[in-house]
Each structure stands twice: as structure tokens, then as C-alpha cells.
Amino acid sequence: MQEFTGIEYIKIAAANEFGMDKLTWQGRIDWFNNNVTDLYALVSKAANRFLFTKAVNAYFDAVDGKPTGYIMALDATASGLQIMACLSGCKKTAAAVNLINNGTREDVYTKVGDGMNLLLDPSDHVTRGDVKKPVMTHYYNKSRQAGLSENQENAFNAVLNCSFSGAEDVMEIINECWDSNALKHSWSTPDGHIADVKVIEAVDTRIEVDELDHTTFTYRYSNNQPSTRHTSLCPNYVHSLDAWVAREMVRMADSQGFQLAHIHDSFWASPNHMNKVRSNYTEILADLANSNALSTFIKDVTGDTLMLVKDSNDLSKDILNSEYALS
């Protein structure tokens, strides 16, 4: 893993907030250096003007030797797919979400869009923006993708089945664990936390109001009752592992003597500690890739003891050498 100084991380943060976060680390530093005399003139063009300005201010304060109190964030590149890659050992999925270093900063949504366009007529081509929400909601078990035509949806499914086969397998395995007679599903995360998730169904009932000339209304309420719909189990399990990763990140930072904040899979710290933040994250995901977490989940939910065969058994080594898992 490449390491950088605190000032270099401030440059990276400024480039990120301007909208250059798809570049390599060095590409972002070079962009900053090439524009260092014009940074304030560029504020109006920044993707996030407020945070870009904060990073620029922090840079000039740091150069002047002033304490900045500045904290920056690095986000996981599609943390849900990263977790599913670790559970399956799928290197194709892992490479698409930057768990394998190939010298570039991969963008999963661009990858899906480009793959779809190879299968589609030019008149049906899609952009990155067209596919971002479908990719995110697909692994929430959304069967139909809003905004995509039938041809686009067929291409979308073909790309996911080919390029993200491990994630697709994990989703199918978890869906099969659903108990249609259960009132809740429970499982443990790697740190021993127990997730208890009730089965909630929306129930409609008709209400007649005498005082309103017997007008009828439909009242919808949530009820804890068995359901045949299995769609929530996969995202709930992946979210529980997302939360475990965040807890581990905070524990490791505490033990290493620095403060870490997080919003879901976005981790905030002083630029001086960002090397540790990145290495801690890859260490946690490498541990997940080495674990039998999915087999444990199956036993917790179904009672069945299965030892699943992963696509590869050495993904953890790649993860420890990855560059852009958090970027």
C-alpha cells in the first residue's frame, strides 16, 4: 500500500471534493499541484464547494505551520459488493470494487455501464448515472430496475452475472435461508453481536367512518408476521457486516491512539492518520475473506451446518495489497 504524508492527504482530499476522486492517488496529487495557484478561483467549479474550500484552507494553514484541526474522509468503493466479494472469495467481484490492485482506481458503476454498452445498440447506450441506482438496489433484491428498458435490463443482468458472479451467488444462498414461517431471523456477526431482525409485513385494512357519511379509507400498518417474501434478508445481513466493519475500525483506531468518526462506510480522521485508516480497513476485510462468516450465518438462521467452497482461498493476500478499497 502506498503511504502519503499528511499534507499529501490534504491534497488528495481537495481533489476528491473537487470531483477528481476517480483518479489514482498520484493523479489527484498532480492535479492539486498543477492548480495550486488557482485553487480559490476553482471553488465555484467544485463538486462540493464547502468541503473543497475547507481542504484548500487546511493546506495553506499546514504549509504555514499552523494547526488546522482538519479532518478528511475516505469512502469505501461499494462496501456492499466488497463484503460479498469477501464472503464468496470471488476475485472478479473483488477487482471491480478495488480489493485487488491492478494499478487503477476502478469504478463499479462505470464498469457495469461500459459492459452493458458492449451488448447494446448505440441507441440504447447508458451512462454511469443511469446504472448507479440499479446496481445499488439490485443487491437489495429489487427484481425490476426502474429507468431501464427491457433490452437494457437484459444487458444489466448479463453483466452482473458475468462480472459479479460471486456476489450473485452470495445473494442466492442468503435468499434460500429465508424461513417463511419465522417471525424473526437471527445471526451473529464476527465480533459476537447478535442481529435480531423481525419479519415485518405491510397490512392493509378498510376503515369505515360513520361520522363522515360512511366514507371508507384504506389504513396501512406494519405487523410482525410470517412472510414468503425473502427480499430483506440479504441486505440486512450485508448491512450487519457493514456495521461490524465500522465497529472494528473504531476499536482499532482507539487502540492506536487516534480518533475516528464514520458515516456508514465513510471514515473521517486527521490526514496524519489516513495511512492507518486505510491499512486497518484492508486488514478487516482480509480477515472477513479468511473467515467462514457465510457458513456461520447459514447455521445461525437455518440450523444447517455447511462448509461452503469459496471461489478462491487467497483473496485476503490481494486485499492486504490493495490500494483503493477506501478512496
Reference 298, options 174, 139, 168; nearest CA is: 174
Domains of the chain by start residue, with CATH = 6-70 (1.10.287), 79-180+231-320 (no CATH)
Is the model more confident about 309 or about 274? 274
User: How far, in Å, CA of 3 to CA of 252, rounded?
Assistant: 18
- pLDDT above 80 for 307: no
Q: ∠ CA(229), CA(160), CA(171), 5° rounding?
A: 35
Please write the tens of the pLDDT for every residue from 13-33.
999 999 999 999 999 999 999
- pLDDT above 80 for 71: yes
- pLDDT above 80 for 143: no
- pLDDT above 90 for 317: yes
Residue 138: phi and psi, rounded to 5, are -55, -45
User: How far, in Å, CA of 192 to CA of 244, rounded?
Assistant: 10
Mean pLDDT, range 303-324, rounded to an integer: 91
- % of the chain residues with pLDDT over 90: 81
Please write the tens of the pLDDT for every residue from 183-193.
999 999 999 99
pLDDT at residue 65, rounded to an integer: 94
Mean pLDDT, range 59-66, rounded to an integer: 96
Please write the tens of the pLDDT for every residue from 37-48.
999 999 999 999
pLDDT at residue 311, rounded to an integer: 87
pLDDT at residue 231, rounded to an integer: 85
pLDDT at residue 108, rounded to an integer: 93
Q: Which three three-digit cell numbers place residue 262? A: 464514520
pLDDT band at 305 (very low <50, low <70, confident <90, very high): confident
pLDDT at residue 201, rounded to an integer: 86
State how beta strands 200-209 and 215-224 pair. Answer: antiparallel
3 state SS of 137: helix
Please write the tens of the pLDDT for every residue from 215-274.
898 989 898 888 888 889 999 999 999 999 999 999 999 999 999 999 999 999 999 999
Is the model more confident about 119 or about 199? 119
What value does the mean pLDDT of the chain take? 94
pLDDT at residue 240, rounded to an integer: 97
pLDDT at residue 211, rounded to an integer: 83
User: How far, in Å, CA of 212 to CA of 317, rounded?
Assistant: 69
* Share in percent of the chain as helix, strand, coil (round to 5): 55, 15, 30
Which contiguous run of DSSP H or E holds residue 135? Answer: helix 128-138
3 state SS of 191: coil
pLDDT at residue 261, rounded to an integer: 96
pLDDT at residue 318, rounded to an integer: 97
- pLDDT above 90 for 146: no
- pLDDT above 90 for 176: yes
pLDDT band at 175 (very low <50, low <70, confident <90, very high): very high
